[in-house]
Structure 1
Amino acid sequence: MLKISSIRSILESTLFVWIGLTLIITLAGDSLVLPAWIQVLGRSHPILLHFPIVLLLMGLLFFWIPGIDKKPEIREIGEISFLAGCNFAGITVLAGLILAQEEYTGEILTWHKWAGLIVFSGCVILYFFRAAQAKVIRLSSIVLAGAIIATGHWGAGLTHGEDFLLAPIQSNDIELIPLAEAEIFGDVIQPILQAKCLSCHKEGKIKGELRMDHIEGLKKGGKSGAFVLAGDFEKSLLIQRINLPEDDKKHMPPKNKAQLTDEELLILSEWVATGASFDQKLITLPAKNELYQLASVKFEGNKIYSFKAADPDDINELNTSFRSILPLFPESPALDVSYFGISAFPPKSLSDLKNVKNQIVRFSLNKMPLTGVDFKFLKDFKHLEELQLNFTDLDSEQIKVVSELNTLEVLAISGNAIDQASLQNIAKMKSLKKLYLWQTGLSNQDQISIQKSLPETQIDFGFDGKGIIYDLNNPIIAQEKMIYQDSLELSISHPIKTVEIRYTLDGTVPDSISSPLYSNSIFVKNTGKILAKAFAADWKGSKVAESVFMRSGLAPTEFSLLHDPNSKYKASGVATLFDLVKAEAANHGQKWLGFQDEPMVLEVSFANSNNPKELSVSLLYNEAAHIFPPSKVSVQGLENGKWSNLASASPAIPLQASSARSELISLSLANTTYEKLKITVTPVPHLPKWHQNPGDKGWVFVDEVIFNK
């Protein structure tokens, strides 16, 4: 058995080994290339650090025992404990220096690193000068104990965040932000990033050279590309990574971290789709916008409407092909009323709104022919806050009535000629927070005058865009559901009310000349896809907005899969394909069946030979996540014991990655005398050369198979 003296000798010798290695790594800095196996030691730093803390503090306590010089046995135990602590401190500092080379940077790291070196140096000095005067030793032990605590605090800040230590005693009061003041990024997006991403992308730990603890870092992006690009899912690193399969090493957040919820995935995707602004107010989005509807729920409690909700039957009856009435935001009694379709607008229908007059908060009559319409009915809307009357040929008497609406906070009367009498009436509207006066014929002097009269109002006079061509935002397609039974209403809107919206239902991209012009809601009775684009003079046409719709017809009496879906993407099994619930494109981890190694082979049969003539397969495409169109979809029919081909399709392989989206492949069957159908959906065997992982197996994701006569 080793004697105490031998143990002391060994520990003192090894101490110089740690001192030497520490000096080498500290002085060599980033120029030193360490082998991969050394990183294992570095990553053990959080495990090792508890040993020196305990041993050193215990050893320091021995220096305070009264009369310890007269108790050699106890003194020796204290010195050996302290010496062992010094050794563990050396090993821990070494591991920390190695770990610091793995994407840790920032001021906190600097403090933690040098504090650790000071603690190690202080331990060594105190040990070898332990025979000094007791007062000096005790004072030094206090300083060293403080350094140990400070080092641990900065280390916790690196791992858990700067406020980790004091968080329990800090105020947890959350500042309530009114809906009108809420910012899309600061109040909706940033809290999600802080909760799910910040631990790996902040000062002190910046994985992939991406900092997410301030806006400048987000705008700069990381070593793999831009964090977000407005409307561009393909090049936005955020969208790429959150939509990868969870077992992919590039999936974010990492699979051992808390994952984004379905709602958070959708919010982040919609933020990028709507422009990825860092300073836009939430209230500027249309009420029908999906991001607005998802995010406004967070703030709805701050905007309380005390009036009762309208009768749902009244609202349903008032929703027509030329008028839309919707809650201002989910579960709100406040209503947003919009008219659309100039040719279908009946002025007399305005009187129909008397049953919901106490709930109307927003009212839009943009581009409606309002010449000669008596506006006195607006005085019945006791809670009207926003009125949209752009390009409606208003006269001075109508504007006079509008100016008397004391509850108005937002007024948009762009595209109407404003005379001096009307300008004087508008100048009296002190309750206005926002006023839109584009293309109203006001002179510079008129603009200065109205701004002086309404100093607290944000007035938008428009701008001279000559010579500058801007991209239009995508139009917004709204439909109550994707899978329906009888008929389905499709409506299209755009935040700029003066644009033309063109659409197609045959799969072709809309153009500004020959494609149908959208004016009223579209009613469909089949399965297909709508594509829409916005056009306006002096603007670039928008990108294509698209949405699928599926009419459910025949339900099979028997169905089975020959191959099980991948265990990670199995939803509710084969029943998922016939539950008439459309899965979200933004989250392929739920309600989709995923196939990679084997094709999806589905066999179905129908009662009483009530066989369908066509079928549609609902698919997910998300090339960045390896989810591609199938290489082939084939349909076979069993007749007299033999399978024969009834239909097939081989979609084109995309030439680049696009955003996650739902797609349809519809096939007409050659005959209907079959006893059973077999539908085979085959994934692409090799991803194309342009892909980030060329040659890998592709995935196919299916959520519904629809049959119709």
Structure 2
Amino acid sequence: MLKISSIRSFLESTLFVWIGLTLIITLAGNTLVLPDWLQVVGRSHPILLHFPIVLLLMGLLFFWIPGIDKKPEIREIGEISFLAGCNFAGITVLAGLILAQEEYTGEILTWHKWAGLVVFGGCVILYFFRAMQAKVIRISSVVLAGAIIATGHWGAGLTHGEDFLLAPIQSNNIEVVPLAEAEIFGDVVLPILEAKCISCHKEGKIKGELRMDHIEGLQKGGKSGPFVLAGDFEKSLLIQRINLPLDEKKHMPPKNKAQLTDEELLILSEWVASGASFEQKLVTLPAKNELYQLASVKFEGNKIYSFDAADQDDITELNTSFRSVQPLFPESPALDVSYFGISAFPPESLSDLKMVNDQIVQFSLSKMPLAGIDLKFLKDFKHLEELQLNFTELDADQLKVISELNTLEVLAISGNEIDSESLQNLAKMKSLKKLYLWQTGLSDPDQKSIQKSLSTTEIDFGFDGKGIIYELNSPAISQAELIYQDSLELTLSHPIKTAEIRYTLDGTEPDSISSAVYSAPIFVKNTGKIVAKAYAADWKGSKAIEAVFMHSGITPSKFSLVYEPNSKYKASGAATLFDLEKAKTPNLGEKWLGFQDEPMVLEVGFEKNADKPKDVSISLLYSEGSHIFPPSKVSIQGLENGKWNQLASTIPTPSTKASSARSELLNFELANTNYDKLKITLTPLAHLPKWHPGAGGKGWVFVDEVIFNK
């Protein structure tokens, strides 16, 4: 068995090794090139540091034992423990100095580094001068113990954040930001970055030279490129890294960290797509903007309901082609029920809602033909807060029933004639916070009367447009799906009942004279694009709104791509083009195939005796801000008798400005069907136009579906 003296001698000798190596690395700094294998030693720093802390503190306790000078055996145990702690302190300091050369920097690192050196130096001095007066030793041991604690605190700040130690006792009060004051970056994007990213990109730990704990660092970017570029998914480091496969080394957050949710991914993508502003207010975005819809929920102060949720099977059963039943917001027991489609409205279906009487909080029957229908069933909705009954031909008896709904906070009955009796009943609804009375035939005295009776209610009578011509808002287009098999119902609607909706189905913009007038749902059996505008007397026509619809006809028996799509935008390869799943515009890496350096060349074949398609539709994405442009040329060729013949071609209209991301559809009628195979070529733009910030660079072509029909 080794003698204590031999152990002491060995530990004292190794101590000088650690001192020498520490001096070399400290003095050499970043000029010293260390081999890669030493990174393993450096990364063991968080594991090693526990040994010296325990051994040093235990050794320091021995200095406080009364009369220890008269107890040589106990004193020797304390000294050996302290000496072993000094050795582990040296090894830990060396590992920390190696680790610090990776991607750590900042003020906290400096404090942690020098405090660690002080602890190592202090314990070495204290060991070799342990024969000093007991009083001096004890004071020195207290100072050293304090240095050990401080070093550990700064180390925890590096790995867990500066407020890690005191976080449990700090205030958890979260300031509620009103929607009108919420900023897109500060109140929506930054909390995501703080939760999932900043721990590896902050002072003291700046991986990839990217610092994310202040805006200046984000604007500067990292060593691999800019953090974000407005509207540019390709060059934005953030979008590149979060969309990489999880197993990719550069995927962020690293796969051993908490990953971004689908909603967080979409918010970050939409932030970049909408301009990546660090100062823009959320309310400046259009109400239909996907980022606004996702983020505004956070600031609307979702109400907490104490009643039980409805059975999920009941909710599923109640969702039909004419009725929607959905939670007010995720995980809420409160339900929002809406009816749509006048021609499909079955009044008897209202009795189906008995199974969710206790959960309905918002209910809409706007534009449904309610004449003669008994509305007393509304009284069974115990928690009804919002009722939408615009343009429903309500009579006085029905309005009386409505006036007795004491839980209502929001009532919209625009487009219904209100007589004096109904006005008196409405005046009793003191619980109302908002009341919408557009086009109800109320005179100025009537309006003043109801305002006086409901002095705390916000009442909207619409506005008088005399002498001012306003532009109508665009109509809404509703369709159950984008890609369908048999036929598809398209419905158009507008909040102003008297507005006339005109539309086209060939992709051209409708006018107020020759275009078809919408009067009933439209049923289509082909592939195309509907474009609609609203017109009304004394109003400017609305902006056009459009939507594509694709009929899934003939499926090729075999298909292949001559050139593979870009590795960042490869989805499921050629199969993506025929999976009948329409891609969403923000999720560039999921369902879109992207081509830049090579054209998309698709070759397809069909069953030998089957009918050959004579129509081809190609679904594309345009997003000029992300360098995604219309193809410079589209060519469709047919292989006949071993020769490729031109069947259709076009040069799409070039983009003249950057617009928001949108789906586009190119339709082609083939010259003949006497072919064995088809070849479809989409050629990317070779040089971006002069008006574009990336002028001269290559454009992208993004495609997600190719549809064939007879």
TM-score range for the pair, normalised by the shorter chain length: 0.5 to 0.7
Q: 2:117 aligns with which of 110, 115, 120?
A: 120
CA offsets per residue over residues 253-277 of structure 1, 9 Å max, x none? 5788665455654466679999999
The CA distance in 2 between the partners of 1:432 and 1:290, in whole Å, is 25
Match of 2:671 in 1: 670
Say if 1:89 and 1:120, in contact at 8 Å, map to a contact too: yes
Say if 2:112 and 2:155, in contact at 8 Å, map to a contact too: no
Match of 1:617 in 2: 618
Q: Relative to structure 1, is the Cα distance of residues 468 and 403 closer, same or farther in structure 2, using a 3 angstrom cutoff? A: same
Match of 1:325 in 2: 323
Q: Relative to structure 1, is the Cα distance of residues 584 and 534 closer, same or farther in structure 2, using a 3 angstrom cutoff? A: same
Match of 1:241 in 2: 239
CA offsets per residue over residues 197-226 of structure 1, 9 Å max, x none? 4545778778866559xxxx79x9845799
Give the residue type in structure 1 aligned to 2:617.
S
Give the residue type in structure 1 aligned to 2:324.
L
Give the residue type in structure 2 aligned to 1:648.
S
Number of residues paired by the alignment?
650
Say if 1:119 and 1:144, in contact at 8 Å, map to a contact too: no
CA offsets per residue over residues 460-486 of structure 1, 9 Å max, x none? 547989999999987654322221122
Match of 2:530 in 1: 530
User: Does 2:587 match 1:587?
Assistant: yes
The CA distance in 2 between the partners of 1:273 and 1:581, in whole Å, is 22
Give the residue type in structure 2 aligned to 1:82.
C
The CA distance in 2 between the partners of 1:11 and 1:586, in whole Å, is 55
How far off is 1:523 after superposition? 2.5
Match of 1:455 in 2: none
Match of 2:605 in 1: 604
Q: Relative to structure 1, is the Cα distance of residues 74 and 425 closer, same or farther in structure 2, using a 3 angstrom cutoff? A: closer
Match of 1:703 in 2: 704
Match of 1:364 in 2: 364
Give the residue type in structure 2 aligned to 1:642.
K
Does the residue aligned with 1:674 lie in a helix, a strand or coil? coil
How far off is 1:586 after superposition? 3.2
Match of 1:337 in 2: 338
Does the residue aligned with 2:609 lie in a helix, a strand or coil? helix
The CA distance in 2 between the partners of 1:642 and 1:379, in whole Å, is 71
CA offsets per residue over residues 426-481 of structure 1, 9 Å max, x none? 354355565445686566685354145xxxxx635479899999999876543222
Moved more, 644-653 or 410-419: 410-419
Match of 1:389 in 2: 389
The CA distance in 1 between the partners of 2:473 and 2:228, in whole Å, is 17
How far off is 1:550 after superposition? 0.9
User: Does 2:458 match 1:459?
Assistant: yes
Match of 2:5 in 1: none
CA offsets per residue over residues 178-206 of structure 1, 9 Å max, x none? xxxxx999999887655544545778778
Match of 2:451 in 1: 447
How far off is 1:707 after superposition? 1.0
Does the residue aligned with 2:117 lie in a helix, a strand or coil? helix
Match of 1:680 in 2: 681
The CA distance in 2 between the partners of 1:474 and 1:272, in whole Å, is 26
How far off is 1:312 after superposition? 8.2
Does the residue aligned with 1:159 lie in a helix, a strand or coil? helix
Q: Relative to structure 1, is the Cα distance of residues 431 and 328 closer, same or farther in structure 2, using a 3 angstrom cutoff? A: farther
The CA distance in 1 between the partners of 2:594 and 2:288, in whole Å, is 35
Say if 2:502 and 2:516, in contact at 8 Å, map to a contact too: yes
Between the aligned residues of both structures, percent identity stands at 48
Match of 2:375 in 1: 377
How far off is 1:121 after superposition? 3.6
Give the residue type in structure 2 aligned to 1:356.
D
The CA distance in 2 between the partners of 1:537 and 1:140, in whole Å, is 91
Match of 2:640 in 1: 639
The CA distance in 2 between the partners of 1:636 and 1:192, in whole Å, is 48
CA offsets per residue over residues 101-147 of structure 1, 9 Å max, x none? 5xx6xxxx65x654554453454355446524344434544554454
Q: Relative to structure 1, is the Cα distance of residues 61 and 98 closer, same or farther in structure 2, using a 3 angstrom cutoff? A: same
How far off is 1:526 after superposition? 1.5
Match of 2:549 in 1: 549
Say if 1:687 and 1:697, in contact at 8 Å, map to a contact too: yes
How far off is 1:665 after superposition? 2.3
How far off is 1:36 after superposition? 12
Q: Relative to structure 1, is the Cα distance of residues 203 and 622 closer, same or farther in structure 2, using a 3 angstrom cutoff? A: farther
How far off is 1:556 after superposition? 2.5
How far off is 1:654 after superposition? 3.7
Moved more, 544-553 or 623-632: 623-632
Say if 1:310 and 1:356, in contact at 8 Å, map to a contact too: no
Q: Relative to structure 1, is the Cα distance of residues 80 and 376 closer, same or farther in structure 2, using a 3 angstrom cutoff? A: closer
How far off is 1:551 after superposition? 0.7
Does the residue aligned with 2:617 lie in a helix, a strand or coil? strand
> Aligned runs of 1:288-307 on 2, under 5 Å?
304-306=308-310
Give the residue type in structure 2 aligned to 1:662.
S
Does the residue aligned with 1:607 lie in a helix, a strand or coil? coil
Unaligned runs of 5+ in 2: 1-8, 63-67, 175-181
Say if 1:487 and 1:524, in contact at 8 Å, map to a contact too: yes
Match of 1:482 in 2: 482
How far off is 1:252 after superposition? 6.1
The CA distance in 2 between the partners of 1:447 and 1:228, in whole Å, is 50
Give the residue type in structure 2 aligned to 1:556.
P
Give the residue type in structure 2 aligned to 1:664.
L
CA offsets per residue over residues 582-611 of structure 1, 9 Å max, x none? 333332333444445543331313432622
How far off is 1:666 after superposition? 1.9
Moved more, 45-54 or 534-543: 534-543
Unaligned runs of 5+ in 1: 23-33, 176-182, 453-457
The CA distance in 2 between the partners of 1:428 and 1:532, in whole Å, is 42
Match of 1:82 in 2: 86
Q: Relative to structure 1, is the Cα distance of residues 501 and 310 closer, same or farther in structure 2, using a 3 angstrom cutoff? A: farther
The CA distance in 2 between the partners of 1:496 and 1:210, in whole Å, is 48
CA offsets per residue over residues 299-339 of structure 1, 9 Å max, x none? 999764548977989975xx5xxxx3112349999672335
Say if 2:487 and 2:523, in contact at 8 Å, map to a contact too: yes
Say if 2:585 and 2:662, in contact at 8 Å, map to a contact too: yes
> Aligned runs of 1:212-227 on 2, under 5 Å?
222=219
How far off is 1:488 after superposition? 0.9
How far off is 1:412 after superposition? 1.6
Say if 2:318 and 2:325, in contact at 8 Å, map to a contact too: no
CA offsets per residue over residues 643-700 of structure 1, 9 Å max, x none? 2111123334545555444332222111122222222233445555666666665544
> Aligned runs of 1:114-513 on 2, under 5 Å?
114=111, 116-121=113-118, 123-125=120-122, 127-128=124-125, 131=129, 132-161=132-161, 195-199=195-199, 222=219, 241=239, 246=244, 260=260, 262=262, 264-266=264-266, 304-306=308-310, 316=320, 319=321, 324-329=322-327, 336-339=337-340, 351-358=347-354, 361=360, 362-366=362-366, 373-374=371-372, 376-379=374-377, 382-383=380-381, 385-390=385-390, 397-406=397-406, 408-414=408-414, 422=422, 424-429=424-429, 432=432, 434-436=434-436, 441=444, 446-447=450-451, 449-452=453-456, 459-461=458-460, 477-492=477-492, 504-508=504-508
The CA distance in 1 between the partners of 2:686 and 2:12, in whole Å, is 69
Say if 1:617 and 1:705, in contact at 8 Å, map to a contact too: yes
Does the residue aligned with 1:376 lie in a helix, a strand or coil? coil
